Structure 1
Amino acid sequence: MKRGSYMLGLKKLFPDKMDLNKLIFRIGEVSKMLNVSTRQLRYWEKKGYIESIRDEKGSSRVFNMENFTRVSLIKYYLDKGFTLVRANEITQTNMSNMAYLRRFVMYAFQDIEMIENQPAINLGYFDDEKTSILYGFIDKNDEVKYRVIKNKEEDR
């Protein structure tokens, strides 16, 4: 199986210490992106379900990535028919899962490489001896597949 660099330096675009909470969204942007009125967002903030921060001028409400995710999840559960209180409870539970998922992806992702003329995500070593690498890819039917490949660098 042929391995090769697909995108040079891709790892550098996703540094280990990337702080997604440095992404800031204004209340109007959140409203448009998630189809939630600014009035609803202010109400949710008043109830303590979400938390905004003030921009540098101290005037506009802005949201970090964590609260953007909260708004997104609350909206999702409201659209599924849950009450606001229940949507918030479920969101609280899922926020720790989302943080774990983000942390896992941050540490698992190594690179994107070509395997048999198809992009594959290098998810790191599969074994403690570091002789095999786990790859994930999406096949032509949009199904996620995994493959373990012997580490070619071990042969050198």
Structure 2
Amino acid sequence: MADTQQIAKLFKELKIGIGEVSNISGVSQRQLRYWEQKGYIKPIDSSSGVRVYNFETICTVFFIKGKLDEGYTLSAAYEKSKSAYTKSKIIRKFFHNLVNGVEITDEKAAYGKILLGDNLHIDNEDYQVVGIVDDDGNHFEIKKKK
């Protein structure tokens, strides 16, 4: 199985031409070029005359298209895409190092516990915050550190 560095490399180096992006997203090539002119998306390289996009840009195209389909204007859809990107970046930073703190409690049901850190100190006692995914949904427990 690929490790996180290999997956990150895949997402960083994945390149898809404008025709395929248009086919999979439902956004015409003409619209994509217009979005480029507005500065909403940017090809990796178009010097050869062929526009090629990276994974991040393709995600932006899908996000904007979704917001347009919901009735947003192009500029509002783009602004929402910037906000969503920033939020996802914060979430990725927060969870980046938590993978080693994940305990699978039911693989088939995809239930488990996530150690969110030894970040509570109350009355000279140390506590851990644990995120839990189980039959009750998502919730947290605060446990005294052993």
Give TM-score, length-normalised by structure 2. Answer: 0.69
Task: Provide closer, same or farther for how the CA distance between residues 79 and 43 of structure 1 changes in structure 2, counting only shifts above 3 A.
Answer: same
The counterpart of 1:53, out of the listed 38, 44, 57, is 44
Quick check: 92-101 or 130-139, which moved more? 130-139
Give the residue type in structure 2 aligned to 1:45. Answer: E
Structure 1 residue runs of 5 or longer lacking an equivalent are 1-9
**Corresponding residue number in structure 2 for 1:34:** 25
Partners of 2:134 and 2:19 in 1: how far apart?
Answer: 35
Partners of 1:101 and 1:13 in 2: how far apart?
Answer: 19
Query: Which structure ranks higher in relative contact order (CA pairs < 8 Å, sequence separation ≥ 6)?
Result: 1
SS state of the match for residue 137, structure 1? strand
**CA offset at residue 42 of structure 1?**
1.1
Structure 1 contact 30–68 (Cα < 8 Å) conserved? yes
**Corresponding residue number in structure 2 for 1:24:** 15
**CA offset at residue 24 of structure 1?**
2.0
Quick check: 112-121 or 39-48, which moved more? 112-121
Structure 2 residue runs of 5 or longer lacking an equivalent are 121-125
**Corresponding residue number in structure 1 for 2:3:** 13
CA RMSD of aligned residues (A): 3.6
The counterpart of 2:138, out of the listed 123, 145, 152, is 145
Give TM-score, length-normalised by structure 1. Answer: 0.65
User: Kindly, what percent of the aligned residue pairs are identical?
Assistant: 30
Number of corresponding residues: 139
**Corresponding residue number in structure 2 for 1:124:** 115
**Corresponding residue number in structure 2 for 1:3:** none
**Corresponding residue number in structure 2 for 1:77:** 67
The counterpart of 2:130, out of the listed 129, 134, 142, is 134
Structure 1 contact 110–122 (Cα < 8 Å) conserved? no
Task: Provide closer, same or farther for how the CA distance between residues 124 and 14 of structure 1 changes in structure 2, counting only shifts above 3 A.
Answer: farther
